[in-house]
Chain A
Amino acid sequence: MSAGDQVMLDLYRSLCRSREFETALIRYATKDAKPVGHPYLGQEAVAAGVCTALRPDDRIVGTHRAHGYAVAKGCDLERLALELYGSAEGTCRGRAGEMYMAQTDVGYFGGTQIVGGNVAMAAGLALAAQLGQLDRVAVSFVGDGAVNQGIVDEALNMAAIWSLPLILVVDNNGYAQTTSVKYATAGRIADRWAPYGIASVSVDGQVAAEVYEVAQAARARAAGGQGPTVIEARTYRYEGHYYGDRHRRYRPQQEVEQWLARDPVELHRRAALEAGLDEAMLDQVRADAAAQSEAAFERARSGRAVAPRDLLEGVFVEPLLRGRGEDS
């Protein structure tokens, strides 16, 4: 298989894992009265495109809309499902749920409740790579709403003055909760940090291969010491801000249908077929992703529940015992 075909296949695998995992999550969680949280359905090409362009030890941080980023960076689906089900066998012993869950051994350094709250930490991860002179970058995913939080500016300013290997990916799905980006955000997002000297690009966030290309270029710039890049990926979320947000009266039906017609999984499947990838192989990739997701949630149903000791352990790395003794 050519390198190009391999990328197309990897992108499809990532898209399918994300789509099937969240589809299974909604089906199981609805049945089992568990929280669904903030689905990434419709936006999958952004995280899939970016994470496929990264190396395993590159670091990413996400947001509240966290499953999509976690799955794209390669988090273990079974332990993720256990975490979402609140099991002590979850990735974070059932403590973190969707928004704070992390799996650092695959480079997923976690999400956050605060929409722009992880960008500064990502700059710190980038500074760590720079100080260690490592070929490693940090990516911070945010939504369009986050660009109006001050800390994003603070972090990007530091990334620019120190040429940090940081990539900010703005999943512009058009809405900050119910508020349109057109109402809340002055100027174009992709232009906002260009005056800082930060390379900035806007890309069709429904086309995984295009996102992959700009992410690959951004990674090369960052790792090559040329500093940060902002990628605005124009996309759309199929569900509400959170899964219970069912009415979605803030979005015209015509707009929803226009975006549904450009589904990122279907668009990529067509592109892969046109590139000559075998249809049966693609079908197998999707079937595997569905089976893995199904198995993950079946397993989550029988996960060990949290016990009182799970609540109380590990507040500190070193518990403060009186009389621990002077250490010199």
Chain B
Amino acid sequence: MTSMKYWQAAADALRQEMRRDPSIIVLGEDVAGGAGREAEGIVDSWGGPFGITRGLIKEFGAARVRDTPISEAGFTGLAAGLAADGYRPWVDIMFTELLPLAWEQLTNKIARSQYLTAGQLRMPVTIKTFGDCYSPVCHYPGLICVAPSDPYSAKGLMTAALRSDDPVVVFDNLRLLRTQGEVPEEPYAFPLGQARVLTPGSALTLLGIGPSTSLCLAAAADLEASGTSVEVVDLLTLSPWDVDGVTESVRKTGRLLVVDYDHPECGLGATICARITESAWDALQAPPTFLTPPPVPTMGMDANPAMAAMYLPDAGAVVAAAAKLCQGDDHDLFRWSAAPL
């Protein structure tokens, strides 16, 4: 075990898998940085927006670590072609705000080709992006979506994505980038499609998605201190998500609160609650519910910390919602952390 930051764990997975598998090709804007100027002594001048791909070009060369033009649709389609011919592209789409540019290729080519061609066109593509807007991607059958929540899961899920014969979209998060944790040095892969129980409990299941998992752990500590036994479950794979695992937890606790940083409408939190209402119906003590930001068209409010603080649920909001659920006071259960709109 080594202590490392989240971004270092993700980078570690990519480097180890590239050593193991020569078919992995890294594509994206400035994944090396300063491309095409080797003759002037400029190599590896950036390493991606947060340094995750730094150093790869020196070890693996420009053929495998390829700076692309700013053409998200184009290089996502390029990845589809590489995958169809036996490569395993790893594609950096910096932020979820850029994903819509690649939407057509991601959905019509990468998500659908394997199924529509009855397995003739394989799409072992890893798309890596930063952001909370994962629900629209989870909508598409054929794509696997994952969201790590700490350095250990960052490495395990990135390795799993790179080894998967199916397309995987990895939702990293800037809030997690510099978090520190213990990570095994040797390669390991998390099982795709499986949630993990972080703390066992009996009265409430708090389900975290990516960065909201640390919020759930913080809230659980508060709730435990006041005598409520909380089970924190980390979803990890957002689609297809672990219905059996979450059901098992909720059948034990009788209550579910999903903490979801994405927009609320047609979102993952709502989907999970609907499914669990059916699968755990006879064991439920309260309606499954979810806590999200209010439905305002932000891009995470990173431009204004004061608004971001109002926008995102915090541990206090999770504790308050959890307390209401556990007291059976669910009629005016208030999903959003901000004041009513």
Contact = CB atoms under 8 A, between A and B. Distances in A.
Interface of A: 59, 91-93, 95-96, 100-104, 109-110, 112-114, 117-129, 131, 138, 150-151, 154-155, 157-158, 161, 314-318, 320-328
Contacts of A102: 113, 117, 120-121
A101 to B, nearest CB: 8
B201 interface: no
Contacts of B121: 102, 104, 109-110
B68 A95 contact: no
A45 to B, nearest CB: 27
A123 B144 CA distance: 25
Contacts of B144: 316, 320
B109 A314 contact: no
B244 A322 contact: yes
Given A124-B85, A320-B240, 8 more contacts: A117-B109, A121-B84, A121-B109, A151-B105, A154-B75, A155-B74, A316-B166, A317-B122
Contacts of A328: 186-189
Nearest to B79: A124
Contact of B81 (A103, A125, A154, A321): A125
A121 B77 contact: yes
A118 B73 CA distance: 11
A326 B189 contact: yes
A237 B69 CA distance: 36
Contact of A128 (B77, B85, B193): B85
B182 interface: no
A138 B118 CA distance: 22
Given A318-B166, A328-B188, A328-B189, A124 B77 contact: yes
Contacts of B163: 327
Interface in B83-119: 83-87, 89, 104-105, 108-109, 112-119
A125 B69 CA distance: 18
Contacts of A151: 73-74, 77, 104-105
A268 B165 CA distance: 46
Nearest to A119: B77
21 contacts: A95-B115, A100-B112, A109-B121, A113-B108, A120-B75, A121-B109, A123-B81, A125-B85, A127-B82, A128-B86, A128-B87, A155-B71, A158-B78, A314-B115, A316-B114, A320-B237, A324-B192, A326-B189, A327-B163, A327-B191, A328-B189
Interface in B260-276: none
A154 B86 CA distance: 23
A109 B144 CA distance: 23
A103 B240 CA distance: 29
B104 A157 contact: no
A59 B63 CA distance: 21
A311 B72 CA distance: 32
With most chain A CB atoms within 10 A of its CB, the pick from B83, B113, B120, B121 is: B120
A95 B80 contact: no
Given A125-B81, A158-B68, A120 B105 contact: yes
B117 A110 contact: yes
Name the residue among A95, A123, A127 with the largest chain B CB count within 10 angstroms.
A127
B69 A157 contact: yes
B193 A322 contact: yes
Interface residues of B, number: 59
The 9 lowest CB-CB distance pairs between A and B, nearest first, are A124-B81, A120-B77, A154-B74, A320-B193, A128-B85, A154-B71, A317-B165, A121-B81, A124-B78
Contacts of B86: 128
Given A100-B116, A317-B122, A322 B71 contact: no
B191 A158 contact: no
B25 interface: yes
B245 interface: yes
Given A113-B108, A120-B78, A127-B81, A92 B69 contact: no
Interface in B240-256: 240, 242, 244-245
A314 B245 CA distance: 23
A112 B109 contact: yes
A112 B107 CA distance: 12
Q: Which of A95, A122, A320 has the most CB of B within 10 A?
A: A320
B108 A114 contact: yes
B84 A109 contact: yes
B78 A324 contact: no
